[in-house]
């Protein structure tokens, strides 16, 4: 099943996909255009992976990592489907990153890789934007690149883990203004979903709501204000987002 979080009629609701509409817990059905889409989960800890696809590492002229390159992100970064992401005025190269996001559903520590999927609640789509101007080192963990307000659209759906039989065989695509600019497969991850769950759980206890962003394949392109960026993952969903300039972003924040 696909689940969403939405704002409607002055309240926040959980909703389920129902024949091309949203069904609320009280039975009401709403059109997709009648609501404000929120991130489908309210993340606790956000783990993010740098260079988890060999083709992307090559694209950036880096050697593929021998151990996960991990950094943490603030919850302020996460926004919903159809929301706006700011491109700072001083940026010369800003790119999208279509990523499979894994949502943890149970507490766990020292999780064996063979049982890792038992701890997954579901999956969603993330677009983890980066501003290449701000790079301080080759795996980009610094605040200005990856922890700006609204730089990580998430959604629109949380898809139950039971409905994704093999998360390691999904096609990822990105479209900029309708043009296909990125295509890859989760088969090409260096570190698999199961490996990452085990790896993180040996460092800290995982808990419901923890989010793992698993990296992006090659195919990056600079995006600018006015561009509509759609990131989609087979069986998970299509996440749409628009790039805006400073003036529009901050005007919306005041409103």
Give yes or no for a contact between 162 and 74, defined as CB atoms under 8 angstroms apart: no
Q: Are residues 237 and 158 in the same domain?
A: yes
The 10s digit of each residue's pLDDT in 207-219 is 999 999 999 999 9
In the predicted structure, residue 177 carries a pLDDT above the cut 90: yes
Q: Are residues 175 and 82 in the same domain?
A: yes
Mean pLDDT of the chain: 92
Q: Are residues 158 and 188 in the same domain?
A: yes
Residue 137 has a pLDDT of: 58
pTM, two decimal places = 0.94
Residue 147 has a pLDDT of: 82
Residue 80 has a pLDDT of: 98
Q: Are residues 67 and 110 in the same domain?
A: yes
The sign of the CA dihedral 184, 185, 190, 193 is: positive
* 66 — pLDDT class (breaks 50, 70, 90): confident
In the predicted structure, residue 55 carries a pLDDT above the cut 90: no
Instruction: Give the mean model confidence (pLDDT) for residues 31-37.
Output: 97
Residue 251 has a pLDDT of: 79
Q: Are residues 13 and 129 in the same domain?
A: no
Q: What is the CATH number of the domain that holds 26?
A: 2.30.30.370
In the predicted structure, residue 178 carries a pLDDT above the cut 90: yes
Structural domain total, the chain: 2
3-class SS string, the chain? CEEEEEEECCEEEEEEECCCCEEECCCCEECHHHCEEECCCCCCCEEEEECCEHHHHHHCCCCCCCCCEEEEECHHHEECCCCEEECCCCCCCEECCEEEEEEECCCECCCCHHHHHHHEEEEEEEECCEEHHHCCCCCCCCHHHHCCCCCEEEEEEEEEHHHCCCCCCCEEEEEECCEEEEEEEHHHECCCHHHHHHHHHCCCCECCCCEEECCCCCCCCECCCCCEEEEEECCCEEEEEEEECHHHHHHHHHC
Range(s) of the domain holding residue 23: 1-38
Q: What is the CATH number of the domain that holds 52?
A: 3.90.850.10
Q: Are residues 43 and 30 in the same domain?
A: no
Q: Are residues 126 and 26 in the same domain?
A: no
Q: Are residues 91 and 205 in the same domain?
A: yes
Q: How far apart are CA 167 and CA 194, in angstroms?
A: 10
In the predicted structure, residue 187 carries a pLDDT above the cut 70: yes
Q: Are residues 19 and 132 in the same domain?
A: no
The 10s digit of each residue's pLDDT in 113-162 is 999 999 999 999 999 999 888 776 555 556 777 788 999 999 999 999 99
State percent of the chain over pLDDT 90. 80
Q: Are residues 17 and 125 in the same domain?
A: no
Q: Are residues 192 and 90 in the same domain?
A: yes
Residue that wins the pLDDT comparison between 156 and 64: 156
Residue 192 has a pLDDT of: 97
Lowest mean pLDDT among 56-60, 85-89, 197-201: 56-60
Q: Are residues 66 and 29 in the same domain?
A: no
* 237 — pLDDT class (breaks 50, 70, 90): very high
């Amino acid at each position: 099943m696909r689940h969403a979080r939405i704002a409607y009629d002055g309240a926040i609701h959980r909703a389920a996909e129902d024949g091309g509409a949203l069904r609320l817990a009280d039975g009401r059905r709403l059109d997709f255009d009648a609501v404000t889409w929120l991130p489908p989960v309210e993340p606790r800890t956000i783990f993010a992976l740098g260079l988890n696809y060999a083709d992307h590492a090559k694209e950036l002229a880096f050697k593929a990592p021998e151990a996960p390159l991990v950094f943490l992100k603030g919850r302020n970064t996460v926004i919903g489907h159809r929301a706006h992401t700011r491109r700072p005025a001083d940026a010369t190269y800003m790119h999208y990153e279509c990523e499979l996001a894994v949502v943890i559903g149970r507490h766990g520590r020292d999780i064996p890789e063979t049982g890792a999927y038992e701890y997954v609640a579901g999956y969603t789509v993330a677009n983890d934007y980066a501003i290449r101007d701000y790079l301080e080192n080759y795996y980009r963990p610094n605040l200005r690149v990856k922890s700006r307000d609204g730089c990580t659209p998430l959604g629109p759906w949380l898809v139950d883990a039971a409905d994704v039989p093999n998360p390691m065989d999904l096609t990822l695509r990105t479209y900029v203004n309708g043009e296909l600019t990125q295509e890859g497969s989760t088969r090409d991850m260096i570190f698999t979903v199961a490996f990452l769950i085990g790896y993180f759980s040996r460092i800290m206890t995982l808990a419901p709501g923890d989010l793992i962003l698993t990296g992006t394949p090659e195919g990056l392109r600079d995006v600018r204000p006015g561009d509509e960026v759609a990131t989609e993952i087979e069986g998970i969903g299509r996440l749409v987002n628009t790039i805006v300039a400073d003036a529009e972003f901050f005007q919306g924040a005041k409103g």
